[in-house]
Structure 1
């Protein structure tokens, strides 16, 4: 197996553009790619542009009628069928929508194929992670669910156990739904509590289909306001033990940057430094439990200058084996590009000044009156016994 990592990139993914007033500004992708280049990370990786996912690949997850509706809306946005979630406030139709959405899916599928074949040990597609799209509809800024399609492709290639860990602030509902009845896929989502955030799913009691897949879906619903210490405590209290039990052949992860305290669409208080700590942990867990096979995807993130490019550049650096120290000064050339594109001042360092981040290990005990500990315990009690583990 090659130790070299792959970065999936095609400039055309920046065409995933819902319009000037939409929070999912594709400048976040362009700025991330530019920052990756400013640090020279693209010289340490194989930069690969894959073909768009074809219809047969899209239909590994999505219904035929839905793909047809996306194609129709792509050709004539004014005729988008809202019954499929298209042409809505969250998912406005735009010309070329099918083509660019299929391209993003194709990058994630190619990343999964490269890791499975052994052409690369790690592969990153930060344009991917569109985890809300359902088999029959668009949702939450997501047209095609590239994460689910990549996992389905791994299963098609012969994988028997794929673990998916989603640390986006929003519940990974589309991926959970796609594999609700499939015990070969373990989905773990850490997200803001559904009482306070879209998509209002991801309760700890959602554990997989009773007919053979119970315990294959895991949901840690975090209280609004959760910060670094609580977020890392919850992650380490749930994820490592479940991955050790499941023994995945491939680890697929989704790294939405919208857990950040500056994100305008959510209510957690996580720093860039804690996001980096989880990225490092997932890289280590891939080596510990999946022979290093790691497919890392982007996701949400709407602080498009201050947060997203730094967070995902850390992710790329970790995958490339070239970790960037948090205190590193950001190259001035990139900050100039930020101003040229956005008329905003870019951040000066690769940290929020909170490194290293401290957190309390679950094994040291928990406080049943603490809201964060209540959330962790609810997830453990719902799933761990189903897997033969102590809650």
Structure 2
């Protein structure tokens, strides 16, 4: 029997932990799941356990020597010099015990979500432990050891022979996934992110369109710093609709970094929870319009784990399950349970206050600049449709 949606989770996902003070903190998954449970919005039978990805699965994308280096690093057997050549032991991705085991579980969680959707056991699957989009073939980068989305896309191609639309709304450019499929016309990538002029990884320019047979299947929309809700949503709504119509995917995979929010400590955008209501809503519509509902969603960035991420990520599950209860106040039971652990006061309401920040003086200029970037990003498909009409 097909379920509407499944939620991939295990306490073991929290073992992906660089240190106590590292900004990447998977406690946010538990905070999100607990919020859903306090809302009575998820049932035990909808929660499924992740499995570990095998070496063969990891090596669909990653170099076998790199996988071996991760194993050695996690057991204390890799020298610092060799480790740094692989991006391991850096400030962003410090070495931690059993690193391979924790990282391969994150990848396996995304593959678990893939199999449930592609084999017809569920229409939608959410794996918030995934979304590590900066990992490269032979190098860790930006808090990401293995790249679960890249592995999952290659896995979908090989096992299910499907065309994948990958949509990345993290504030940081989805570089690792883009480069994995840069010459592949059967994978279309869309990344909406803060411009790399100010933010890691510095890539994702509008002219990164793919190469060879993959030219024209990579879309990047770098928005200006301090971009607000309306401008961001205009870009998202327009681009995802036009790109889906152009590519006509068999399945949609969304990366749902929650770090474009004004309160995020690592980025410079000015969105609110308003965009996190719309992101899954439109992805859901596209999935049913083009993919018979097939939608796999993963997590990603998001570094205000108390005030932002649980609300933003809970909204993905509520959209997947057509549950419209996310209005008014958050459940008191959730706030009481976590308020003493939180270093900041927890939000009381689902939506952010209208006066959360002072007006942005360059709002008109930023909005116009973003419109121009959108035009440049979509020019090839708009020009092509003019020629064929």
TM-score above 0.5, yes or no = yes
Shift of 1:341: 2.8
Q: Deviation of residue 34 (structure 1)?
A: 1.2
Q: Deviations over 1:122-149 (max 9, x none)?
A: 0000111010001111000011111111
Alignment partner, residue 15 of structure 1? 15
Could you tell me which residue of structure 1 aligns to residue 320 of structure 2?
Answer: 319
Greater shift, 89-98 or 74-83, is seen at 74-83
Closer, same or farther: CA 333–257 of 1 in aligned 2, 3 Å: same
CA distance in 1, matches of 2:22, 2:205: 28
Once residues 286 and 186 of structure 1 are traced to their aligned partners in structure 2, the CA distance between those partners, rounded to angstroms, is: 14
Tell me the secondary structure at the aligned position of residue 121 of structure 1.
strand
For 1:182 and 1:25, locate their aligned partners in 2 and report how far apart those are by CA, in whole Å. Answer: 33
The one-character-per-residue Cα deviations of 1:141-183 (angstroms, maximum 9, x if unpaired) are 0111111111111101133311000000000001001111111
Q: Deviations over 1:186-211 (max 9, x none)?
A: 000000111111100000110111x2
Pick aligned residue for 2:169 from 167, 170, 187? 167
1:376 corresponds in structure 2 to 374
Quick one: structure 1 residues 389 and 282, their matched pair in 2 at CA, closer, same or farther if it must change by over 3 Å? farther
Which residue is 1:219 aligned to?
220
Q: Distance in 1 between matches of 2:387 and 2:257?
A: 29
1:291 matched residue in structure 2: 292
CA distance in 2, matches of 1:204, 1:381: 10
Counterpart among 125, 137, 146 of residue 127 in structure 2: 125
The TM-score normalised by the length of structure 2 is 0.92
Q: CA deviation at 1:45?
A: 5.8
Measure the CA separation in 2 of the matches of 1:347 and 1:218. 35
Q: Would the alpha carbon gap of residues 332 and 10 (structure 1) be closer, same or farther in structure 2, given more than 3 Å must change?
A: same
Q: Which moved more, 1:371-380 or 1:259-268?
A: 371-380
Aligned to 2:301: 300
Match of 2:93, SS state, is: coil
Provide, for residues 288-341 of structure 1, a one-character-per-residue CA deviation record: whole Å limited to 9, x for no partner: 1111100011100001100001100111111122233332x2112211222243
Measured after TM superposition, the shift of residue 51 of structure 1 is 1.2
Aligned to 1:31: 31
Q: What TM-score, normalized to structure 1?
A: 0.92
Distance 1:386 1:267, change over 3 A: farther
Partner of residue 46, structure 2:
46
8 Å CA contact 2:26–2:129 kept in 1: the answer is no
Determine if contact 1:215/1:387 at 8 Å carries over to the other structure. no
- List alignment gaps of at least 5 residues for structure 1: 355-365
Contact 1:190 1:222 in 2 (8 A): yes
1:77 and 1:256 mapped to 2: Cα distance?
Answer: 33
Q: 1:87 aligns with which of 79, 86, 89?
A: 89
Corresponding residue for 2:179? 177
Contact 1:207 1:382 in 2 (8 A): no
Post-superposition shift, 1:285? 1.1
Map of 1:363 onto structure 2: none
Instruction: Give the RMSD, CA atoms, in angstroms.
Output: 2.1
Task: Render the CA deviation track for 1:262-287: whole Å, top value 9, x for unaligned.
Answer: 00101111111212112111111111
Is the deviation greater in 252-261 or in 149-158? 149-158
Structure 1 residue 79: deviation in Å? 3.4
Name the SS of the counterpart of 1:346 in structure 2.
Answer: coil
Tell me how far apart the structure 2 counterparts of residues 309 and 283 of structure 1 sit (CA, whole Å): 19
Q: Where does residue 67 of structure 2 map in the other structure?
A: 67
What 5-or-longer segments of structure 2 have no aligned partner? 355-363
Is the contact between residue 50 and residue 107 of structure 1 (CA under 8 Å) also seen in structure 2? yes
Aligned counterpart, 2:250: 249
CA contact (8 A) 1:339 1:346 kept: yes
Deviation at 1:9, TM superposition (A): 0.3
